[in-house]
Amino acid sequence: MGSTRKKGRTHMGDRTEFQMNLYAVPDDAKDDVVDLFNAWYFGVDWDDRGTDWTRELLDDVLGGQLAVTDTGFPCGRTGELAELLAGLGCVFEMHEDPKYEWLGERAMFHPKLGDEPKLEVCSAEGESLLSEWRYRQLRDEADGDAKLIELIEEELGIAYADQFADLVREPVTVD
């Protein structure tokens, strides 16, 4: 039996490490992001204004990129959070570490790269992973080494990650 105090995060279940870089938030979505951060219990333990997120605090820290870390993130929920932030038009990359029977999850999103966040299985360092089983599937699909390399790079999200890195090299703005 799980209990939920606020929408978004349950108190029971497996927990893991989580890291997110938030590069940009549209002005009309900032209040929603503040509510989302508070609902998911991303506490503020480095500011003397309190432990909850506020619009003022979000504006202050978004001068550059905002790094959010959490040591009690619910396993297997990165995709859900990524879809919520992408739906608000935010630019971000995030990952949760693998733990127990849970695989790690990595997500990134920039509206210039599509309407959906890019989701992959990842290591504790946020590096995309490819299982032996999936490799064998891709190898069977490919009709030569060049096609296999293309399929592997697509599976790992390498082109998306490279394009994303280029887009966030400079300060990011969204309308």
Q: What is the residue extent of each domain of the chain? A: 15-129, 131-167
- pLDDT the model gives residue 141: 95
Strand positions, DSSP E, 75-140: 91-96, 104-109, 118-122
Token readout for 92 is 């971000």
Residues 74-132: tens digit of each pLDDT = 999 999 999 999 999 999 999 999 999 999 999 999 999 999 999 999 998 989 999 99
**pTM, to two decimals:** 0.82
Q: What pLDDT digit, counting tens, does each position of 23-60 carry?
A: 988 989 989 988 888 888 776 655 445 556 677 777 76
For 63-77, 111-125, 158-172, which range has the lowest pLDDT when averaged over its residues?
A: 63-77
User: In the sheet where 15-24 sits, what is the strand order?
Assistant: 66-74, 15-24, 91-96, 104-109, 118-122
